[in-house]
Structure 1
Amino acid sequence: MWDQVSALLFKALGETLFMVGASSAIAFASGVPLGVILHVTSRGGLLERRVLNGLLSAVVNAARSTPFIILMVLLIPVTRLIAGTSIGTGAAIVPLSIAAAPFVGRVVEGALREVDRGVVEAAQAMGATSWQVIRKVLLPEAFPAILSGLTLSVVSLIGFSAMAGAVGGGGLGDLAIRYGYQRFRLDVMFATVAVLILLVQLCQAGGDLLARLARKDGKS
């Protein structure tokens, strides 16, 4: 019996890793530029654009305030358009990415806001353009904090992926619902929770290590 459970766990773990990995990559690729734009267009920013900043902030806040399970349902037409279906591991990547991108954007914005203003002004005094300040000053200075924030994003996506399983998204959440809850298999439920906890611990430890290494490199 446990051989079957182990096989199901490995399969579900692979699906979860695929969902989280793909959605993290998409969320980072879209969220990091979003965070930079939010920062540089804010009041007193390098490229102050209050109207643009206000519109982006409103969209980001709306996306972040919507519970993920509701967001998944609202995005079913978009998911079908992109993935061709609203059920399965591949389809779950769409709402996961859309849910995580605004969070990543706010994380990056917050990290950039903590960069010493004097460093930015020094770069501008030496004739650096806005793009050069962003690329060579803001992002490198904020990199350790961004790494820590991205780790939190991945951890959140692991939790979101488990919720996606409740509506046919596959992965560990789907295993816990279909084989654990619906079939009254507490052993499957506990095994799934244990794997999720271990996965979160590994991601958090790895992210913390990378952030520490980045801080040491920045001080050397």
Structure 2
Amino acid sequence: MSSNLLPNVQWDKIWAATAETLYMTGISVLATFVLGIILGLLLFLTSKGNIWENKVANTMIAAFVNIFRSIPFIILIILLIPFTKLVVGTILGAEAALPALIIGAAPFYARMVEIALREIDKGVIEAAKSMGATTSTIIFKVLLPEAMPALVSGITVTAIALVGYTAMAGVVGAGGLGNLAYLEGFQRSHSDVTFVATVLILVIVFVIQFIGDFVTSKIDKR
């Protein structure tokens, strides 16, 4: 029955493309989470009135974040081709998409981290300072735990954006469901392949949203 409804769908290719999409999304989400938190913390801590207040450093970090956050992803991939070739050794395949995915998403998430940290009650930070807490203690025992529900919610939104990025990366040869939908679906006019790839991307997005909402509800003590 399925072969009549979806005559052009080769399920081995579909599952291989799905695995590539999950690989690209998983690695880039992990790297984005770490780099985004580092950048977000630096933005917050170097801003006016905070522990590492430094206008020059804050301006430079903010400029880096704003520039890479503003470049459309498809253009970013093209701009990063020389860098990608240097780091990965190729501009094709799932591995080659990772630099652009991470560099595109980390600044986006960094701004979410900064906003989450700004929403923490300043009284909590001042109380920790008055008790003689070190900077590392304030970061790991106060800032990150207090902001964690917002950080998880933010990485959920970013992960969903990254799924969309992987689909765009597929158009320029990065593999995954986007690549399959473009090459096998659009270019060969196989609408059933495009349909199946789209449904699977939607399923991945819904699963990410469900996990993100579940984790956020568990750690949010408010």
- Distance in 1 (alpha carbons) for counterparts of 2:143 and 2:54: 18
- Equivalent position of 2:206 in the other structure: 201
Q: Does 1:146 align with 2:151?
A: yes
Q: Does 1:99 align with 2:104?
A: yes
Deviation at 1:131, TM superposition (A): 2.0
- Equivalent position of 2:192 in the other structure: 187
Deviation at 1:130, TM superposition (A): 2.1
- Equivalent position of 1:178 in the other structure: 183
- Equivalent position of 1:61 in the other structure: 66
Q: Percent identity?
A: 46
- Distance in 1 (alpha carbons) for counterparts of 2:30 and 2:152: 13
Write the deviation string for residues 128-177 of structure 1: whole angstroms up to 9, x where unpaired: 12221111111100001100001111101000000000000100000000
Find the residue that maps to 1:198 and give its secondary structure: helix
Misfit runs of 4+, over 6 Å? none
**Structure 2 letter corresponding to 1:67:** P
Q: How many residues align?
A: 217
Deviation at 1:200, TM superposition (A): 0.3
Q: Does 1:159 align with 2:164?
A: yes
- Equivalent position of 1:117 in the other structure: 122
- Equivalent position of 1:213 in the other structure: 218
- Distance in 2 (alpha carbons) for counterparts of 1:16 and 1:111: 29
Find the residue that maps to 1:58 and give its secondary structure: helix
- Equivalent position of 2:16 in the other structure: 11
**Structure 1 letter corresponding to 2:151:** I
Find the residue that maps to 2:10 and give its secondary structure: helix
**Structure 1 letter corresponding to 2:75:** I
Write the deviation string for residues 28-60 of structure 1: whole angstroms up to 9, x where unpaired: 221111111110101111211111000110111
Equivalent of 1:45 in 50, 63, 82: 50
TM-score (norm 2): 0.94
TM-score (norm 1): 0.95
User: Which consecutive unaligned segments of at least 5 residues does structure 2 have?
Assistant: none
RMSD: 1.2
